[in-house]
Amino acid sequence: MKKILLMLMLFLGFGSITIMGQTSVRIYPKASFVGVTKKGTTYAKQSIEKDPKRFFVGYDATTSTYGRGYLEFDLSPLPKDATIVSVSLQLTNALTTPLESNFNGKIKLYSCANYMDANETIWNSLKGFSGLELANVEIGSGGGKAVSSDPLNIVTKNAMGTKLYMAINHADESKITRFLGDNNSLYLDIKYGSSPTEENEGWTIEGPDVVYSGDIIDYYSPSPEISCYSVDFSVGWTYDHDIFEILAINSIGCSKNNSVRLKVKDTNAETKTTKIKTKTVEHFDGKKYDWPSGSKVVTVKYKPKKLILTPSGSVISLNSTVTYTLTGIASFATGYNVKWEAGNNMSLISAQGATTATFKSTGYGYGTLKAVLTYDEKSYTVENSSVWIGKPQTPILSCSGGTTLQPNSTYELQAVSGGAKTYTWSTASNAVTLEDADPTSNTIKIRTGESTGMGNMIIVTCYTTNELGQSTTSRIRLNYE
């Protein structure tokens, strides 16, 4: 009977069989992208579209190449509100003859984001540090394993109706594991039932009622008043994955997975209302019982993520004006107020309240100020000290080798000059040469020649300029034998 069902699933492609209210589906990963390889600074996609349909994780000693895996499963045809009964990921190791000297079958499986390319950023992301660990397993050479876990059930539940993404890493990236990618060796089996009713909600969920975009928060569902020795149960969590990103699932007391850590994603509205729910998914004997579920109404509010102050110019003259603009506030945000405060060498000459303000320079040097945004009874402060008033500051010069130089050596000179846009270096000494002169850089290389056997005093000069003029010339005296 099982063989007949399997043949039916393979014939159907996506694979869907419903028996007694439970539907079993088999889904195959996106074949064109199953991971990334790294050789030196070169990154490439792994694919199982063509024979041999294989990919690897870890280190391939024969090509000096590292590999990390990525699996993408399309769950968009599946009902979003279905109840997950079971999930298993079939992984099959490729049998290599002779066995590779650095073979090891220990791997880790993580949840991850949607990736489409091979580059350094995706390579680092596939390490899985920011994702939820789904499984930690070992598969022998030529062997297969149906990987299942509570975290895998939970991330699959939250991906129903959309797509599921996973990263595969070797537990020791100096070792290697090769996977088969054909339809008999790599697939995801999901069994699900109809959506549960909202009846019998009796559990409480502890955690904040109001959260803000970017917050990391914990929710906890206390166990019912029963003996830990009489029953062992596991708790499932459901939430809007467009609003929350799961970071961790923890167990407290004699319950499994009864605490969840979520990160609030960036929102596209000032206020949203959503529900976080919990449901008993399994007891110690593997059966399902009508234990109470629970839900918590959570208000999600917008919070400015990164405020930036941008001036209309970077260099201004004394007693002139400059306008600052505060950005980083979402277009849908309303009811906020901005208070501007002048600091050194600046005076506010425009009104308060708006996201733009005009200041007048009152002294030379850097002009400093800050804006305090008040929004939803919270305050956010951002400062700016990037505007220079007047000609550049007289450069302060230094040398990487101190003041005594050695023959046939290269040193770096540095000029610190507030408000400078260009740098001009020179020396009258034939004992040294100036190298890598870039008028927009505040550093330059100095190269000494052969020893003269006599003491020499070398003088290097530098002056700087900006839109308002030239600084006083500075000198640095260096000894050279």
Residue pLDDT, tens place only, 132-178: 889 999 999 899 999 999 889 888 988 999 999 999 999 999 999 99
Tell me which fold the domain 396-480 belongs to.
Immunoglobulin-like (2.60.40)
Answering whether pTM is above 0.75, one says: no
Which residues 6+ apart lie within 8 Å of 243 measured at CB?
A: 264, 265, 267, 272, 274, 300
Q: Which position has the token pair 């804006």?
A: 371
**pLDDT tens-digit readout, 35-59:** 999 999 999 999 999 998 999 999 9
Range with the lowest mean pLDDT among 125-134, 191-200, 415-424?
A: 191-200
Q: Does domain 308-389 have CATH number 3.20.130.10?
A: no
Fold exhibited by the domain 210-301: Immunoglobulin-like (2.60.40)
Domain ranges of the chain: 2-193, 210-301, 308-389, 396-480
Going by DSSP bridges, is the β-strand pair 365-375/378-389 parallel, antiparallel, or unpaired?
antiparallel
- With a CB cutoff of 8 Å and minimum separation 6, the contacts of 230 are none
Say whether domain 2-193 belongs to CATH 2.60.120.230.
yes
Question: What distance in Å separates the CA atoms of residue 166 and residue 110, rounded to the nearest whole number?
Answer: 6
The SS3 assignment for 72 reads strand
pLDDT in tens, 75-98: 999 998 788 889 999 999 998 888
CA 35 from chain centre, in angstroms, equals: 18
Question: Same topology for domains 2-193 and 308-389, yes or no?
Answer: no
Give pLDDT, residue 170: 93
